[in-house]
């Protein structure tokens, strides 16, 4: 494989993600959608939000969608709607964004961490059984980087223990596990529409999807100050509503999502093909029966930090998701965990690196990224 020359000021930067390229393609549609909302002067709990709820629920293969203010709020409200209270325990993977754990903490419950499978970075179902206690009230399964977790085994445990299962689909909208979309397996599933997500708003936004009419009704109450009727609150709730402008923007983007997902998968296949020629680098794994949506294209390399510096010197962006497993976060120091408790999550935190990945990424840019990695490996 050829190598790129030493860093050149004239070389075009390759960002890790590029929202401007997306806006250049759909900006006119976005502006029209925003203008439509402005003309109605209805900004909260209006027709755009209701329409988006139905469209996203249909995409996930479920009956109900409940728009909320963020993906984190989606987790908090889903946990509360499933009965989690202060003093309870919730099982979740040690390798995920801190919001998965902090949503549990926000309710006064305790996160109980489980290790992940080294090849997928997703929850290892065999870890769950030995961590269940009489205080366990729910399980959160995270579909990290856009790849579905092993839902058959996780569901089997949840059902045998009669525990609610919540899917964290923040990075995985549209991903498939054995013919079904993520979001259709758990009692509830949580989506994030943070701007960098595969389906991203122009600010914070989120949604809970569910097949349960009862859960959906409870979530609609919880997101709106606990009100069961106007100015009549039956319980403490939140002010967590997905606004009409964000909903209108997301409806535009949703029309393009399938095309963008195909482009991500094509880009991932190109990366993986080229990386087959590069020793010492592990591309992402896609188990049989799964359709990865590549929110991130995440490789592993033992000299990760040096590789990231090498790429940055060549104007190639990359990111580490995530450099600290949850059990080693200062937030959870009181739980008494130490290095070595969750070895697969810890090793992943030291080795994972997410390469440039977005639908508009060109094949020549992918080739340049891989050439830079190959150059580093030969050093």
Q: Give the rounded percent of residues in the chain with a pLDDT score beyond 70.
A: 97
Average pLDDT over residues 92-110: 98
Q: How far is CA 295 from the centre of its chain?
A: 7
Q: Nearest Cα to 207, choosing from 111, 43, 77, 84?
A: 77
Fold of 256-378: 3.90.1150
Question: Quick check: 5 pLDDT over 80?
Answer: no
pLDDT band at 8 (very low <50, low <70, confident <90, very high): low
User: Quick check: bond before 322 cis, omega within 30?
Assistant: yes
Using an 8 Å Cβ cutoff, are 71 and 192 in contact?
yes
DSSP one-letter code for 82: T
Using an 8 Å Cβ cutoff, are 206 and 72 in contact?
yes
Angle between helices 304-313 and 363-378 (to 10 degrees): 130
> How far apart, in whole angstroms, are the C-alpha atoms of residue 295 and residue 260?
11
| Cβ count within 10 A of residue 19 | 14
Average pLDDT over residues 10-22: 93
Using an 8 Å Cβ cutoff, are 217 and 100 in contact?
no
DSSP one-letter code for 7: -
**pLDDT tens profile 301-328:** 999 999 999 999 999 999 999 999 999 9
**pLDDT tens profile 174-218:** 999 999 999 999 999 999 999 999 999 999 999 999 999 999 999
Using an 8 Å Cβ cutoff, are 356 and 369 in contact?
yes
Contact partners, residue 34, CB within 8 Å, separation at least 6:
245, 248, 249
Question: Quick check: 1 pLDDT over 50?
Answer: no
Domain ranges of the chain: 24-114+121-254, 256-378
> How far apart, in whole angstroms, are the C-alpha atoms of residue 31 and residue 244?
14
> How far apart, in whole angstroms, are the C-alpha atoms of residue 186 and residue 167?
6
- Please check whether the two domains, 24-114+121-254 and 256-378, share a CATH topology: no
| Cβ count within 10 A of residue 23 | 12
Average pLDDT over residues 212-230: 96
Answer whether CATH 1.10.10.10 is correct for domain 24-114+121-254.
no
């Amino acid at each position: 494989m050829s190598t790129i020359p030493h860093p050149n000021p004239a070389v075009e930067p390759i960002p890790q993600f590029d929202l401007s390229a997306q806006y250049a393609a759909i900006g006119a549609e976005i502006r029209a959608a925003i203008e439509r909302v402005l003309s109605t002067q209805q900004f909260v709990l209006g027709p755009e939000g209701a329409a988006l709820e139905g469209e996203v629920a249909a995409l996930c293969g479920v009956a109900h969608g409940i728009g909320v203010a963020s993906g984190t709020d989606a987790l908090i409200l889903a946990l509360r709607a499933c009965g989690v209270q202060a003093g309870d325990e919730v099982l979740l993977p040690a390798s995920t964004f801190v919001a998965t754990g902090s949503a549990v903490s926000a309710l006064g419950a305790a996160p109980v961490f489980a290790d992940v499978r080294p090849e997928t970075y997703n929850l290892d179902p065999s870890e769950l059984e030995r961590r269940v206690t009489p205080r366990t009230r729910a399980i959160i399964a995270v579909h990290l980087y856009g790849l579905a977790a092993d839902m058959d085994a996780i569901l089997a445990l949840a059902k045998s223990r009669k525990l609610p299962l919540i899917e964290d689909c923040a990075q995985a909208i549209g991903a498939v596990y054995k013919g079904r979309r993520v979001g259709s397996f758990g009692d509830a599933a949580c989506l994030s529409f943070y701007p960098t997500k595969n389906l991203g708003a122009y600010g914070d936004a989120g949604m809970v999807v569910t097949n349960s009419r009862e859960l959906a009704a409870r979530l609609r109450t919880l997101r709106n100050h606990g009100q069961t009727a106007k100015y009549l609150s039956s319980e403490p709730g939140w002010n967590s509503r997905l606004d009409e402008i964000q909903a209108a923007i997301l409806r535009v983007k949703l029309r393009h999502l399938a095309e963008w997902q195909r482009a991500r998968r094509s880009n991932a296949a190109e990366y993986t093909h080229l990386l087959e020629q590069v020793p010492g680098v592990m591309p992402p794994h896609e188990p049989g029966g799964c359709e990865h949506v590549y929110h991130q294209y995440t490789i592993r390399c033992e000299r990760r930090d040096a590789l990231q510096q090498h790429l940055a010197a060549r104007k190639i962006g990359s990111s580490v998701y995530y450099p600290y497993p949850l059990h080693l976060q200062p937030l959870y120091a009181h739980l008494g965990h130490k290095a070595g408790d969750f070895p697969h999550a810890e090793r992943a935190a030291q080795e994972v690196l997410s390469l440039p990945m977005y639908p508009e990424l060109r094949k020549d840019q992918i080739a340049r990224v891989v050439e830079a990695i190959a150059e580093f490996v030969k050093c």
